[in-house]
Structure formats: C-alpha cells, structure tokens
C-alpha cells in the first residue's frame, strides 16, 4: 500500500525545526545544497561511501570562528554503505529526527527501489512521490501515457523492428550498467538487426531487454531540456515558471559529431555506434517565439498530472524535448522531479530564472525558496508528499 499523503502531512505538522534540506549525493545534489545555503536553510547530502568526496571534501561548508560560512555549501554528509540503506528503519528515524525534507533527484529514485519509496519511506519528499515511477519506460502507466492524455506531442512509437520505415531510436537499458543507456539508432529493419547483433556481441545490450525496448521516431533536431517549477502555493495562473534550459553532453556521441565525416567513416565499426552515456550539460536559451508553446506544454503537463496523479506535480520538473524542423517541441522524456542538468545554473542562476526573480535563481534555490515560503506560512504540507 502506498503511504497515504495524510500520513506525511501529519509527519510534517510535528516536524522538528529548523527544517533541513536533504538530497541523495549524486545527480543534482550540489544545486540543491547550494540553493539551500543561499536561502539560509541547513542541508545534508546522503552519500554512498566511496562517492562522498565531492560533498564531504570539495564542496563541504567551512565556517569561520564566528560561525559564518567561509566556503562551500554542503553542510553535512551522512554516509551509507549503499545508497539504498538510507531507507532503512534506523536511517529513516535519523532523517525524521533531524527534520529532513528530502528533495528527490534521479539518484534517489534509481538507487532506492521505487516500491520502498512508495510504501515504506516515511520521510517527507519535496515533490510528487507517486509520479517518480512514470519515468520507468517499462511501466504501463509511464510518462508516455501521461503526455498523451495531456495532448503533448511525443515521438511516434514504432510497433516493432519490422515496421522501421524511418530513422528510429531504440531505448533500452545498458546490459551491465543498468542505470545507463543501451540506446541505438536504425533506419531499416536490416540496420536494426545488424546493430542489435553487434551490440549484443559487445555486451552493450541483451536480447531480453530488447524484447521490452521502446522504438520511436528519431526527431532530427536539437535537444532542449526545459527545467520548470510549479508552485501550489500561489494562484494556479501564477504557478508555472520556466527556470532554465540545459542540453546534454553524451560520451562518444559528442566525440563522434566533432569529427569530420571522412574521419567518422574511417573509424572501426564498433566506434561508429555512439554511446549515450551522459557526462555533462550545457546551457541554452530558446528562440523567443517558441517560448509560448513551451509554456503551453508545461501548463498541460501540470493540469494532466493533477488529474492523473493528485495532487499532481509539486515543485521542480523537466520536459526533455527535441525541436523538429518546424521548431515544434516533441517531448521524448519527462523528469517528475529536479532534472539532471540543473547544475548549469547553480550559483549563477539562468537567464529565465533570473528574469523572473531579478537575481540569481537556480532550480536548487527555487526549491529552497519554496520550502522557506511554505514554512513561513505554515503550508509545508502542501509542497510535500
């Protein structure tokens, strides 16, 4: 049974103060910690041993004799043998005892089993706990179903390899690194089979995963990840904000496209199939005449999420799009939580967030601001689940 929202509401009504902003130490934890520090909230990063140095050493808060922050933004690091241990009974008790409000990022929803998140993790989540599962493409009730019900354009689904009549992208997990991608493209059933065989042979994908893969039209156009924020604390018409836009750098895919065509063709076959391992992000703005359509998609997403997953999306979310040849956004993925690329605006803010807030506004800072506002107004229960 999923944890009832009423239970979380009761929990936060007797929560220790001051609240502490928490995040799992990976993905966008620095943005979250930085935002909390800027808004004057304490923060804790939940790290896995062996992966803690970024937080515990390099971005750790150092204070002067007067207690003032001299450097860094990560106030505390709690280490776990494995990330999943943070959901253990004793760990939950510690989190509640300190008044931790956990900001879900992809590391949280990847490393803690979703059924644990939904049914056992009795710590307030700043966002929409029940929507984390829609990211799993293998679920029936996934983000494609939500986008469809919202009337948001998605890449056309191709029923099977034999129906490939255009360039497609085949989406399945990496055979060994389960949280990474084993994606590949193909423009015909023959190319699909040739690449399938090559990728299985080199251990990138398995035929089991392939049986459940999503095959969809490859949208030829640049990727724009729109980092939105929705606040339930203001009238609906003022709730949606666009804070920033990022794009990804993907390991040898980006290496490949930086080579002249002749050198690409001279590469050994194995090197010509790109890997989609995310290794970084850059920042973008979008042509201004396209912005209104982006906001329309954001509004539809908010409305559909409120219908299908009440109370709907709370706080940060990200619509990952390709803009097609007409400049129309096609949404190929959704994060119902802070996106993976928001470190692009940490500290500095982003042109769009800054234009709204008249000063540096990142996703992490916006989340902390929301927590601060909710605390001040006694409305914390409206922004957690």
Ligand X SMILES: Nc1ncnc2c1ncn2[C@@H]1O[C@H](COP(=O)(O)OP(=O)(O)O)[C@@H](O)[C@H]1O
Residues making contact with ligand X (CB under 6 A): 155, 169, 181, 183, 216, 218-219, 223, 248, 276, 320, 322, 332-333
Residue placing its CB nearer to Mg ion in the complex, 75 or 333: 333
Q: Report the C-alpha gap between 94 and 86 in whole angstroms.
A: 10
Closest CA to 194 of 217, 161, 156: 161
Cα 286 off chain centre by:
20
Assess contact for 246 and 350: CB atoms under 8 A: no
Nearer to ligand X, 216 or 275 (CB): 216
CB contact at 8 A, 347 and 34: yes
The residue count of the chain comes to 385
Residue of 286, 333, 345, 350 that binds Mg ion (CB under 5 A): 333
CB of 31 to Mg ion, least distance (A): 17
Question: Smallest distance, Å, CB 154 to ligand X?
Answer: 8
C-beta nearest to Mg ion: residue:
333
Task: Give the full edge-to-edge strand order of the sheet including 214-217.
Answer: 184-186, 168-171, 214-217
Q: How far is the CB of 41 from ligand X (least distance, A)?
A: 29
CA proximity to 208, closest of 171, 180, 170, 175: 175
Binding mask 284-323 toward Mg ion (x if CB under 5 A, else -) reads: ------------------------------------x---
Nearer CB in complex with ligand X: 274/351: 274
d(CA 150, CA 165) in angstroms, rounded, equals 27
- The two three-digit tokens of residue 39, written as one number: 């808004």
Closer residue to ligand X (CB): 55 or 111: 111
Kindly state the smallest distance separating residue 155's Cβ from Mg ion, in Å: 13
Which entry of ligand X, Mg ion, none binds 362, CB below 5 to 8 A by partner kind? none
Helix (H, G, I), strand (E, B) or coil at 309: coil
Phi, psi at 176, each rounded to 5°: -100, -50
Q: Which is nearer to Mg ion, 31 or 333 (CB)?
A: 333
- Shortest CB 233 distance to Mg ion, Å: 28
CB of residue 135 vs Mg ion: minimum separation in angstroms? 8
**Number of amino acids touching Mg ion (CB under 5 A):** 2
Give the whole-angstrom CA distance, residue 370 versus residue 363: 11
Q: Is 216 in the site for Mg ion (CB under 5 A)?
A: no
| Minimum distance from residue 67 beta carbon to ligand X (Å) | 41
- What tokens were used for 17? 């103060």
217 bridge partner residues = 168
Shortest distance, CB of residue 121 to Mg ion, whole angstroms? Answer: 23
Nearer to Mg ion, 38 or 320 (CB): 320
Q: Which is nearer to ligand X, 274 or 360 (CB)?
A: 274
From the list Mg ion, ligand X, none, pick the one residue 314 interacts with, judged by a Cβ distance below 5 to 8 Å according to partner type: none
Contacted entry of ligand X, Mg ion, none for residue 322, CB cut-off 5 to 8 Å set by kind = ligand X
Compute CA 377 distance to the chain's CA centroid, rounded to the nearest angstrom: 28
User: What does residue 326 show for φ and ψ, rounded to 5 degrees?
Assistant: -95, 5
DSSP state of 54: I
126 or 169: whose CB is closer to ligand X? 169
d(CA 186, CA 169): 7
Q: Which is nearer to Mg ion, 305 or 320 (CB)?
A: 320
Rounded to whole angstroms, how far apart are CA atoms 339 and 343?
Answer: 9
Instruction: Please report where in the chains the tokens 């391992």 appear, as a residue.
Output: 277
Contact indicator for 308, 276 with CB cutoff of 8 Å: no
Work out what residue 75 binds among Mg ion, ligand X, none; the CB cut-off runs from 5 to 8 Å by kind. Answer: none
Q: Which does 130 bind (CB under 5 to 8 A by kind): ligand X, Mg ion, none?
A: none
Give me the residues that bind Mg ion (CB under 5 A), please.
Answer: 320, 333
């Amino acid at each position: 049974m999923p944890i009832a929202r009423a239970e979380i509401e009761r929990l936060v009504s007797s929560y220790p103060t001051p609240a502490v902003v928490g995040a799992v130490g990976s993905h966008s934890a620095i943005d979250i910690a930085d935002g909390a520090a800027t808004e004057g909230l304490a923060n804790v990063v939940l790290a896995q041993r062996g992966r803690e140095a970024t937080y515990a050493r390099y971005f750790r808060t150092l204070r002067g004799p007067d207690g003032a922050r001299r450097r860094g933004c990560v106030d505390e690091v709690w280490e776990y043998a494995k990330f999943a241990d943070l959901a253990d009974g004793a760990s939950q008790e510690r989190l509640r005892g300190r008044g931790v409000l956990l900001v879900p990022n992809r590391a949280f929803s990847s490393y803690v089993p979703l059924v644990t998140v939904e049914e056992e993790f009795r710590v307030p989540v700043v966002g929409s706990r029940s929507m984390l599962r829609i990211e799993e493409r293998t679920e029936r009730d996934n983000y494609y179903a939500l986008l469809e019900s919202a009337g948001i354009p998605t890449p056309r689904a191709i029923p099977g390899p034999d129906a490939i009549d255009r360039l497609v992208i085949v989406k399945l997990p990496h055979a060994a690194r389960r949280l990474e991608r084993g994606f590949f493209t193909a423009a015909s059933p023959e190319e699909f089979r040739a690449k399938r065989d090559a990728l299985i042979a080199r251990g990138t994908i398995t035929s089991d995963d392939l049986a459940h893969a999503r095959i969809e039209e490859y949208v030829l156009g640049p990727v724009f990840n729109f980092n939105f924020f929705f606040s339930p604390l203001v009238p609906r018409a003022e709730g949606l904000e666009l804070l920033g836009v990022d794009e990804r750098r993907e390991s040898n895919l980006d290496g490949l496209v930086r080579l002249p065509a002749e050198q690409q063709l001279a590469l050994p076959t194995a090197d010509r199939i790109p890997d989609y391992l995310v290794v970084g992000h850059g920042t973008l703005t979008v042509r201004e005449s396209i912005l209104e359509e982006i906001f329309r998609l954001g509004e539809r997403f908010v409305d559909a999420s409120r219908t299908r997953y009440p109370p709907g999306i709370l706080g940060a979310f990200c619509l990952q799009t390709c803009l097609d040849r007409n400049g129309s956004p096609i949404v190929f993925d959704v994060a119902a939580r802070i996106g993976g690329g928001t470190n692009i605006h940490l500290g500095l803010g982003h042109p769009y967030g800054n234009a709204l807030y008249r000063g540096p506004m990142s996703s992490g800072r916006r989340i902390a601001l929301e927590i601060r506002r909710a605390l001040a107004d006694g409305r914390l229960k409206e922004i957690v689940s």
